[in-house]
Amino acid sequence: MKKYLLIIALALFLFSCNKGDDFRLKGQVTNLSTPYILAAFSSTDTLAIDTIEVSKKGKFNFNAKIDTLTVLTLYFNDFSSSCVIFADKGNKISVKGDANLPDLIQVKGNEINDDLTSFKETNNNLLFQRGELYNNFRSGDAENAVNKNDLKTHLNSLNYELTQKAEDFVKTHPEKASSLIIINNFFRNPDNPQALDRVLGYLNQDILSLPMGQSLKSYNEKVKKSAEGVFMPYFNMKDIEGKEIKSIELKGKPVLLNFISSSDIESRETIKILKNEYAELNKDSVNFVSIYIDSDIYPITNMEKDSIPWTVIPDKKGWASEMVKSYNVPFVPYNILISSSGNIQQRNIPTQEVKDVIKDKE
């Protein structure tokens, strides 16, 4: 769902919605566990949320007044999945699909929707496989660690294939606004700014000059400041004991920055794995630093604090934290390795590979 929230946040730079002409939305979505759908869109410079009633068969209708191209996000099953719609005044938009496979939901009714649906239809098999994998993770079918790793490997392979298809689409359609949406979906990646650079270079200047294109360019420039190979962004934070921790003082040996959450089950599992990884490393030749990004809402317990044998930083500003922003942390848990000279060596390291990566970089 993060992906769709990201789309609407970016699209609000591009489109706005004021009182104007009606557009009509008609659809049918299966596998709904609630008798309603939530619709979020920009209305008179604010984000409006409407509740759309659905029939037992998942059919629904919705009308709204707009006077320009507007981004509408439909949320299903209490925000567990969503899809994005682009609507202009006078449009008649149709929606059809499965709430459990949101990437395959077909939206038709204008050029952007039709282009994006065409991309989905062309890559139906890959998107279906990826959707099934996501559902397996959510349903708990991936509890076994070996099985979970296999699923992640398969998921990475599917994402790679889809990214190649997305790049082909952008190359073929450099003059279309839908290419901006495709780029945002597949290339807005803090770990691979080179790919975003490349695909933005395919676009016509008219498309690239749109606010969303400019936003992607600005984002890419920001990401480059924390890309692999650059000197680590400066920070000055206080650890759990109130001691000042400055990035410049960490130079001299490798540093693992581990961004986690007190409330996140996967983060707690990450700490358990990191303890094992840390135990097999020379403590005098490496520093671990765990940054709890939501400690204002979910305070770090004494048990957590006492059981972690490395530096712990409670970051009480959450996702608005300057450290989170400067290192472009997209989710938690998230691991970044800093070299002894202070350069970012590797981003997004799987926790179970931390020890091997550190030893390999020595």
- pLDDT tens digits along 116-135: 999 999 999 999 999 999 88
Q: Is the pLDDT of residue 17 over 50?
A: no
What's the pLDDT at 242?
92
Mean pLDDT of the chain: 88
Which residues belong to CATH 2.60.40 in the chain?
Answer: 1-108
Q: Is the pLDDT of residue 168 over 90?
A: yes
The superfamily in CATH containing domain 236-361 is: Glutaredoxin (3.40.30.10)
Which residue has better confidence, 5 or 320? 320
What's the pLDDT at 47?
80
Beta-bridged to residue 64, according to DSSP, are 23
Which residues belong to CATH 3.40.30.10 in the chain?
Answer: 236-361
Q: Is the pLDDT of residue 11 over 60?
A: no
Q: Residue 54, Cβ neighbours under 10 Å: how many?
A: 18
Q: Is the pLDDT of residue 5 over 80?
A: no
What's the pLDDT at 294?
79
Average pLDDT (135-140) is 75
Strands 244-246 and 81-87: unpaired
pLDDT range class, residue 19, cuts 50, 70, 90: very low
What's the pLDDT at 144?
55
Q: Is the pLDDT of residue 171 over 50?
A: yes
CA 82 – CA 73 distance, rounded (Å): 7
Tell me the HSE value of 241 on the side-chain side, using a 13 A CA sphere.
7
What's the pLDDT at 301?
65
Contact of 212 with 11, CB cutoff 8 Å: yes
Domain 1-108 CATH class label = mainly beta
Q: Is the pLDDT of residue 4 over 70?
A: no
Q: Is the pLDDT of residue 114 over 90?
A: yes
Average pLDDT (94-119) is 97
Average pLDDT (41-55) is 84
258-281 pLDDT, tens digit per residue, is: 999 888 788 889 999 999 999 999
Q: How many residues does the chain have?
A: 362
pTM of the model: 0.79
301-310 pLDDT, tens digit per residue, is: 655 666 899 9
Task: Please return the burial class of 2, using the count of CB atoms within 10 Å of its CB with bins 0-12, 13-18 and 19+.
Answer: exposed
Average pLDDT (288-297) is 84
What's the pLDDT at 43?
63
The single-letter code of the amino acid at 321 is: S
pLDDT range class, residue 15, cuts 50, 70, 90: very low
